[in-house]
Amino acid sequence: MVGKVVFVGAGSGDPELITVKGMKYLQQADVVIYAGSLVNPDVLRWARPGAEIHNSASMTLEEIVDIMVTRAREGKLVVRLKSGDASIYGALLEEIIALREAGIPYEVVPGVTAALAAAAVLGIELTLPKVAQTLIITRASARVTMQGSIKDFAKAMLIGATMAIYTGVHLIDKVVKELREAGVPDDTPVAVVYKATWPDQVIIRGTLSDIAEKVKRARITKDSVIIVGKAADPSILDTPVRSSVYDPRHTHSFRPKPKINSVDTE
């Protein structure tokens, strides 16, 4: 009998942010392969005693796939732990393609991606009524070829968008330069969250004009999310913001417009 491979989003760092479904799969897994360079090893507390555990930090795609396919063909349940959510910069598709070619069943369980964890620890809303209705998740890179650039996508910030930038803190000067080239003003709020929800989490707040210097002063070069836009401004909490869905003047299917009864008079 062929087993199964389950891709589980381990969450952003806090082991309790794994989903209940992901935790249950870990408790049942015969084999666990986790991305040790990014996944908090404390998440392995949910793995059952005696499970075969592999740290994929130094492994190649071929080595990872070989373990998954071999163990699944032995009828075992394999959990592949990805950092955050597997669908966001999780190198997921290449592993799924290999499993499909090998005829191995698989499932994907979502997790909490770093941008959402960063928003939570900052106490902000990434999409704000009448301020920022769009969220752009992108990344920076010095060596990896990308389709489009921060400069290309940042133009949407000028018409109401928040940008969450992954893998960019070590290239903070380049990130700032591209944002400026797109026309993003220097006074635009920026927040950098290092290792969101981990015990050693660090939050740096600033603007486009000073965030690079603040990041360098803090000596942060990895494991961070950069949130750019009006939504990242802490003073937004002092500004009246109200959504339409809970506004008594706004009607919808769950709160329809009250009917006015007509009264005949003589």
Distance CA 49, CA 74 (A): 19
CA distance 205 to 203: 7
Burial class (CB in 10 A: 0-12, 13-18, 19+), 68: buried
Q: What order do you get walking across the sheet with 202-207 strand by strand?
A: 134-139, 161-166, 224-228, 189-194, 202-207
94-107 confidence digits (pLDDT tens): 999 999 999 999 99
Domains defined for the chain, CATH in brackets: 4-109 (3.40.1010.10), 114-238 (3.30.950.10)
In this structure, the number of other CB atoms found within 10 A of the CB of residue 228 comes to: 28
Tens of pLDDT, residue by residue, the chain (266 residues): 889 999 999 999 999 999 999 999 999 999 999 999 899 999 999 999 999 999 999 999 999 999 999 999 999 999 999 999 999 999 999 999 999 999 999 999 999 999 999 999 999 999 988 888 899 999 998 777 778 889 999 999 999 999 999 999 999 999 999 999 999 999 999 999 999 999 999 999 999 999 999 999 999 999 999 999 999 988 876 766 666 566 666 666 666 776 666 555 54
CA angle, corner 63, sides to 61 and 67, nearest 5?
115
Helix-then-strand count for the chain, H and E: 7, 10
Q: What is the CA radius of gyration of the chain?
A: 23
